Structure 1
């Protein structure tokens, strides 16, 4: 039985092909390479470690089940991340995540210049704790925008909401996060 070594950091195509051929060491290498980052995505979106771990495992089952459909149009990590984010969103939707659709012309809260996500004084632990207390919809948009790098148009497409709703959810999430951290 041959094994797959990361010693020479093979390209993604070699890794994918080795996984598709059923080489367990390649599958383990792929999991080892991406699982920590993907777990962190799950944890930021779901907040409960047990639920994040379950979603991570389910996501990697999806990854290995659909690896044959990976088309190299993006990096392997980006493709896996999309699977993980979609899995988390589907779980949130099953919990009836409520995103407040803009039905009125109620203005968004004014941004507070004293609240800056780059502020060195904010402690990571405090932010994480406050994020777990955010409503699912706020936390999801905030996570996708700030941590995962999606823009509001992409978030709207992923969550099936308008771009304006994504912006509003993000703005309200920042205000709520500041309240929770006060």
Structure 2
């Protein structure tokens, strides 16, 4: 039944996409209804500003509908529209010049990262999300793309126009800084 259900959903989505290619407003609204929460979640994790997130979300869907003829069904519509959202968010962040740090190959800091993993198990998801939002922009973007969007370092480096080693180093530094911040908060609560 699962395969039949998935195939049925895929056909419904394809029908909506085909109708959007003919500028069918009802189909556009249905796709918006299906994906607006996921797109909003992706953007807000990167941007943090609800007003700007709303603007970028609208721009994302307008861009998706304008370029729907370029959509190839190799990936799902959801993946495609989230990629547009990420690119629009990153363009917005670039205007604010995030702080990416280029690290030469072989100098990736990885000491003590593993010990932080064990310690962070005692924190709630909400505490972790709050601390991610407090990270410097360059760290926050990479850790969100890697952990929450499931991208690998090659994909992140393509989107951010940085080297894969820079993506890895930013991720490791973000992870270390996140663990330090979480532990600082933990000890403050214990005092």
What TM-score, normalized to structure 2?
0.83
- d(CA) in 2 for partners of 1:55 and 1:155? 20
Q: Is the 8 A contact 1:111 1:171 kept in 2?
A: no
Structure 1: which 5+ residue stretches go unaligned? 1-7
- d(CA) in 2 for partners of 1:22 and 1:179? 51
Q: How many residues align?
A: 175
- d(CA) in 2 for partners of 1:36 and 1:118? 32
Q: Which residue of 2 aligns with 1:153?
A: 154
Q: Which residue of 2 aligns with 1:169?
A: 170
Cα shift readout 1:70-116 (whole Å, capped 9, x = no counterpart): 12121111111110110111111111112001159655141433433
Q: Is the 8 A contact 2:19 2:27 kept in 1?
A: yes
What's the offset of the Cα at 1:15?
Answer: 0.8
The root-mean-square deviation of aligned C-alpha atoms, in Å, is 2.1
Q: Which residue of 2 aligns with 1:90?
A: 91
- d(CA) in 2 for partners of 1:103 and 1:130? 27
- d(CA) in 2 for partners of 1:15 and 1:107? 46
- d(CA) in 1 for partners of 2:169 and 2:80? 27
Higher helix share: 2
Q: Which residue of 2 aligns with 1:27?
A: 28
Moved >6 Å (runs of 4+): none
Structure 2: which 5+ residue stretches go unaligned? 1-7, 185-191
- d(CA) in 1 for partners of 2:99 and 2:122? 32
Q: How does 1:78-157 map to 2 (within 5 A)?
A: 78-103=79-104, 106-116=107-117, 121-157=122-158
What TM-score, normalized to structure 1?
0.87
- d(CA) in 1 for partners of 2:109 and 2:74? 37
